A and B are shown apart, each in its own frame.
Chain A
Amino acid sequence: MSDFDDVSEFENPKYFTIENFYSMVEQLVEETGHALDVTTLAFAAVTSAEECLENCNDALQHKVITKQEYDIYLLANRLGLFEVTSSSNSIDPVSVPPNKPYFCLANVYANEILIIFMKDKELSDCLDFSALA
């Protein structure tokens, strides 16, 4: 392969790090006063990058999220930071994703809970639960 074929530098992998994710969320908090809304997190917590892009484009178009949040969600998906599932009473156990061993819960409705598996403990600090209150 010649040097002209190698385009990996253009992806600039230094931006695709969890540290960069944290600083983007920190900036979001500074500018808006809130972190990532747990009710919209499921947009990005899908396995497929294509599905994430489609979900985020749709959410942006309908003004459910801002461009700043859009960028953060796409990075979260790229880094595989979150996996979201929901639970109601009497469900089967879900498998704990081996690469996302940490969890937090969000009470959506009286008998439904979002289960958010996370790659890193500190990620719960990036989530805003206030919309559920």
Chain B
Amino acid sequence: MSDLDDVSEFSRPGHVDAAIRRLQGLMRRGRKVSLINLLAAQGYDDIKDFVTEMGEGVFKPWEIEALTLLHPLVFIASFPSDELDASAIANTPTEYEYFTCCVDTDTGEVTSVFLKDRRLLQFLGSNY
């Protein structure tokens, strides 16, 4: 492979920046993507399958596009707080650079969020 064929250095950062620009366009008027939906969508390789499974009309077109953009850039896991020690790490995604987590003080549910870029957090709904 020649040097000209190796585009790996350019692909990832450009992809994240392009996704963020598009999300900024989609998320006007304070729109956010629900963490719950993003978590549920993780079980699917293709968001189209998730949308079909949930039923037509459940999601608005902007939500489907936002979910599609965020799906490869954000990883979410959720645990009941009394299972935190067991939650450990079996499925830790090691390719994400940022991490945050929140606890729902009513239910004790803890949501952990891995992000490819810290700017992505602004697009996620705070309904932890």
Contacts and interface: CB of A to CB of B under 8 A. Distances in A.
B48 to A, nearest CB: 29
A107 interface: yes
- Provide the main secondary structure of the chain B interface: mixed
B103 A95 contact: no
Contact-residue bracket for chain B: 20 to 34
A92 B102 CA distance: 11
Contact of A103 (B92, B103, B115): B92
Interface of A: 87-96, 101-107, 110-113, 115, 118, 121, 124, 127, 129, 133
Interface in B63-88: 79, 81-82, 84-85, 87-88
B121 A93 contact: yes
Nearest to A121: B89
A115 B84 contact: no
26 contacts: A87-B100, A87-B101, A89-B128, A91-B100, A92-B100, A93-B99, A93-B121, A94-B99, A96-B99, A101-B92, A101-B94, A103-B89, A103-B92, A105-B110, A106-B85, A107-B84, A110-B105, A111-B103, A111-B105, A113-B110, A115-B99, A118-B89, A121-B89, A121-B90, A124-B85, A133-B82
